[in-house]
Amino acid sequence: MEAVSALDLDGRGYAELLRWASSPGSGLNERFAATLDLFAHARDRDASWANAIVRFWSGDPIATAELRRRMKELGDARPVLPAVSARDLAVQRIRFAPRLLAAAGSAGWLILFDEVELIGRYSLLQRARAYAEIGRWVRGEHGGPGAPLGTVLAMTDDYEPQ
């Protein structure tokens, strides 16, 4: 909410975010560009709808029929919103969030993985999966190229006494 309230809807950051979200290279479903456009029209006019959009960006579902209706109200005669799985939307939200934060004036998004040493207690297969996933985060694969996304891993060797 803090980042969204800091967005300058007439500023360069928001325009760049909208341009990126609308481009095929972003890897985002059309819902993201549509909701950015709709948010710009709703923030000061329809707080309830603007809040629903922010909740969508945060992980909540958003009704496709309502999105289409609102897009038509803005002049998009034939809104295209292809089906997308909840899992794919989750991955896309991770790509979207750091750029939204940057558009709001933040440097980006820093994700902390705490108690990484506990992975050592997992079974062999679970450890392999966990380390592979952490490796993807550290390499920045979740945010996409150029995403203002960083990761920090925290671990301790004296977990038991602490």
The pTM (predicted TM-score) of the whole model is 0.84
Please write the tens of the pLDDT for every residue from 38-84: 999 999 899 999 999 999 999 999 999 999 999 999 887 777 899 99
Using CA atoms, how far apart are residues 43 and 52, in angstroms rounded to an integer?
11
Structural domain containing residue 115: 108-162
Cβ atoms within 10 Å of 132's Cβ, excluding its own? 9
Per residue in 123-132, pLDDT tens? 999 999 999 9
Residues 63 and 143 in one domain: no
Question: To 10 degrees, what angle do helices 86-103 and 30-42 make?
Answer: 50
Does 58 lie in the same domain as 1?
A: yes
Q: Based on the fold, state whether residues 120 and 130 are members of the same structural domain.
A: yes
Give tens-digit pLDDT for 85-103: 999 999 999 999 999 999 9
* 124 and 53 in a common domain: no
